[in-house]
Homo-oligomer: A and B are copies of this chain.
Amino acid sequence: MDRNDNKLVKDLAEKILSGDILSLSKSITLIESVKDEHQKTARKLLNSLVPHSGNSIRIGITGSPGVGKSTFIDSFAGYLAGLGRKIAILAIDPSSTKSKGSILGDKTRMQKIANNPNVYIRPSPSRGSSGGIADRTRETIILCEAYGFDTIIIETVGVGQSEVLVRTIVDFFLLLLQPGGGDELQGLKKGSVEIADLLVINKADGDNINLAELTKNAYSLAVHYLQPATPGWETKVVTSSALNMSGIPEIWEIIQDFEQKTKQTGAFESRRQEQNLDWFYSLIEKNLKDLFFGSSQIRKKLHNIEKKIKIGKIIPSDASEIILNYFINSLNK
């Protein structure tokens, strides 16, 4: 069994490195599987491919529903593909409903890239917690980079905690806005602007051009007062129209400028190292909790102790000591 497993891993790794797209998709499915044996295989595969990963720019793109995210990503990725870039588009969508504007449920709107061989689109896995989804996405990035994609786009809907999660995964974070209104009218969560390296006022076309300029100026003023999301990089604000492609080349120039500058200062590399360490430590915490709360003995104890806490019979600091000692003893057998 184990030998077969090793053969499978070796086979998949070789095929991914040689550019076999079906093996990539198959491997991502392994990563997303909830089966223990698949997880084991996936980890082996990832470990063999991680030395081949890292060679891309990872771009997060977020925006409220209605801001034109599908059209923007279609135009943006289409433009990059035209330049010879190889783009993987992944989604983080922690919402369970499919109707909240996730682009990847709606490929029909992405005519420029839907059948482009240089663009790979992978919808987000539907199950799992958002934390789990972030881990799967990080692993998927590694596979995509090993395959040879040099541009990774992580798309997310600007609801819930997804933006903050994406920020911990990407090098560059792009926030899409629409002409008119401040944060609230834009449907923005608080803090969305603070984590962005670039704000793009989309739909700057037709009757919207003037309003888009006004919105751009207002946000330029706002970001001026904020701490930049990336050390040494001043957050930019531009307008664009995904419809008539205006602003798209400039956005790509800004991203390249960002990559060059942050690589020179070391901010690029140190953010990635930081992200990897954060990932590692968040996994340790998660695994520790799984170990603890996964025990049926512990859960039974918790049930009883919760009752006592609620009626004020025991103080939480004492209760937590008691249950931790019980946990240690249970492992000691």
Which residues does A use to contact B, with CB under 8 Å? 43, 46-47, 50-51, 53-54, 135, 138-139, 142, 184, 190-191, 225, 273, 276-277, 279-280, 283-289, 291-292, 305-306, 309-310, 312-321, 323-324, 328, 331-332
The closest CB in chain B to the CB of A328 belongs to B331
A-B residue pairs in contact (CB < 8 Å), sample of 15: A46-B315, A47-B315, A50-B314, A51-B313, A190-B191, A277-B309, A279-B317, A283-B319, A285-B289, A287-B324, A288-B324, A291-B324, A291-B328, A331-B331, A331-B332
Q: In the complex where A139-B315, A277-B310, A312-B53 touch, is A324 in contact with B284 (Cβ < 8 A)?
A: yes
CB atoms of A43 and B279 under 8 A apart: no
**Chain B nearest CB: distance from A203 CB in Å?**
25
Listed from nearest, the 6 A-B pairs whose CB atoms lie closest are A283-B320, A280-B316, A279-B316, A190-B190, A50-B315, A287-B324
Select from chain B the residue with minimum beta-carbon distance to A327.
B288
Q: Which residues in B have their C-beta under 8 angstroms from that of A321?
A: 43, 287
Q: Would B43 and A315 count as touching, CB distance under 8 A?
A: yes
Measured CA separation A190–B191 after assembly (Å): 8
Q: How many copies does the complex hold?
A: 2
Which residues on the B side are within 8 Å of A284 (C-beta)? 292, 320, 323-324
Which residue of A276, A284, A317, A331 has the most chain B CB atoms within 10 A of its CB atom? Answer: A317
Minimal Cβ-Cβ distance residue in B for A283: B320
Separation of A315 and B31 alpha carbons in the complex (Å): 13
Our pick among B280, B283, B285, B316 for the contact of A283 (Cβ within 8 Å) is B316
- Which B residues are CB-close (under 8 A) to A313? 50-51
- Asked whether B316 lies within 8 Å of A276 as measured between CB atoms, the reply is yes
Chain B residues whose C-beta falls within 8 Å of the C-beta of A310 in the assembled complex: 273, 276-277
Chain B residues with CB below 8 A from A292, complex form: 284, 288
Contacts of A142 in B (CB 8 A): 315
A277 neighbours in B (Cβ, 8 Å): 306, 309-310, 316
Asked whether, in the complex, the Cβ of B190 is within 8 Å of the Cβ of A317, the reply is no
Q: Across the interface, which residues of B come within 8 angstroms of A315, CB to CB? A: 43, 46-47, 50, 139, 142
14 new A-B contacts at CB < 8 Å, known A139-B317, A276-B312: A46-B317, A47-B314, A47-B315, A50-B315, A276-B309, A277-B310, A279-B317, A280-B306, A280-B320, A283-B317, A283-B320, A285-B285, A288-B288, A328-B331
Residues of B within 8 A of A190 (CB): 190-191
| Chain B contacts for A279, CB-based, 8 A | 316-317
How many angstroms from the CA of A2 to the CA of B177 in the assembled complex? 66
| Chain B contacts for A314, CB-based, 8 A | 47, 50
Q: What CA separation (Å) do A273 and B316 show in the bound complex?
A: 11
